[in-house]
Amino acid sequence: MARPRKEIDYTQARRLAEIQCTIDEIAHVLGVSDTKLKRDAEFREVYDAAREKGRTSLRRMQWNRAKKGSTAMLIWLGKQYLGQTDRVESAVTISRDVHSLSDDELAAIIAGGRSGGTATPAQGA
């Protein structure tokens, strides 16, 4: 005898999708297989609409935080939407006259700067 079909609770599925739960997570909570959910046309409609609603709600909360002066949120939104980045500056100090270095010593210093390491010129130069 086959076991009874488990019905999908679309209301609960919608609530879970709004908080960005995956299909696997929703299937686990509802006690059905992910395959059943993926094949169910009504679930897919509910799922897609609820995920969009959840993203919109999250975006609204972020903008509200930024409007209230949240520096962290202003920085994050600037990076996401305005292409802003953190500026990283570095400086190199050479304690010897560059003109007295050999080509090999200069190459070692340049290579060290590219890798982030510190190059030490050969002794006896």
4-13, 72-81, 100-109: the lowest-pLDDT one: 100-109
Give residue 110's domain range: 90-125
**Does residue 5 fall inside a structural domain?**
no
Instruction: Give CA angle at 46 (41, 50), nearest 5°.
Output: 150
Q: Are residues 94 and 123 in the same domain?
A: yes
23 and 63 share one domain: yes
Domain assignment of residue 3, yes or no: no
On whether both 22 and 50 belong to a single domain, the answer is yes
Q: What's the pLDDT tens digit per position in 20-68?
A: 999 999 999 999 999 999 999 999 999 999 999 999 999 999 999 999 9
> Confidence class of residue 117 from pLDDT cuts 50, 70 and 90?
very low
Asked whether residue 75 falls in the same domain as residue 97, the answer is no
Q: Identify the burial level of 43 via C-beta atoms within 10 angstroms of its C-beta, where 0-12 means exposed, 13-18 middle and 19 or more buried.
A: buried
